[in-house]
Structure 1
Amino acid sequence: MSRPTRPPRADHQQAAAHARQQPGVWLPVTEYRSVLTARTVAYRIRTGRPLGNTRYGTPYTPADLFEARTELTDDGARLDIRYTARQESTLR
């Protein structure tokens, strides 16, 4: 029995850029096989924390301008993001 193939790695830089171009719209980022991983990444996106190694930072800054949610799928959990510009005007 062979292992299922891994999906390609998520391009969070590109996902954040697409979300900024479409404020208020939920966009899929990737699907994770582990629900826990998807929820952890969603938390890091919402709080502006680094994804992985801290020296690379996160494209989801400033904190609180991105929302993230997970949805269960047959193969794990899908991660969606949404850019909200509601606080951006108060940051300037």
Structure 2
Amino acid sequence: MIERKIKVGLQCGLQAQGATEFVKRASSFSSEINIIKKNRFVAGKSILDVMCLAVRKGEDVILIADGNDEQDAIEDLTNFLCFSGVKIELKRK
């Protein structure tokens, strides 16, 4: 399992378009993908869950990937979310 805390750099955050693209990318990996925002934990492959987080540009979230392709998943999703943001930390559990 890999966790990465990031500051979201997407201009639109994870609203409709951003959430749709995030879920599309997350679903392309076999690993389980989750997002945490302010102690709220949601499935990263669920469009409703991701949109309900209402993540805005500049907010911190924690991405979690667990599975065979977790490293690739974390890198791809981080690059997407941090388009103009900053990676904060990586923890391997």
The answer to whether TM tops 0.5 is: no
TM-score range, shorter chain: 0.3 to 0.5
Structure 1 length-normalised TM: 0.34
Say which structure is richer in strand.
2
User: Under a length normalisation based on structure 2, what TM-score does the superposition of the two structures give?
Assistant: 0.34
Higher relative contact order (CA closer than 8 Å, sequence separation 6+): 2
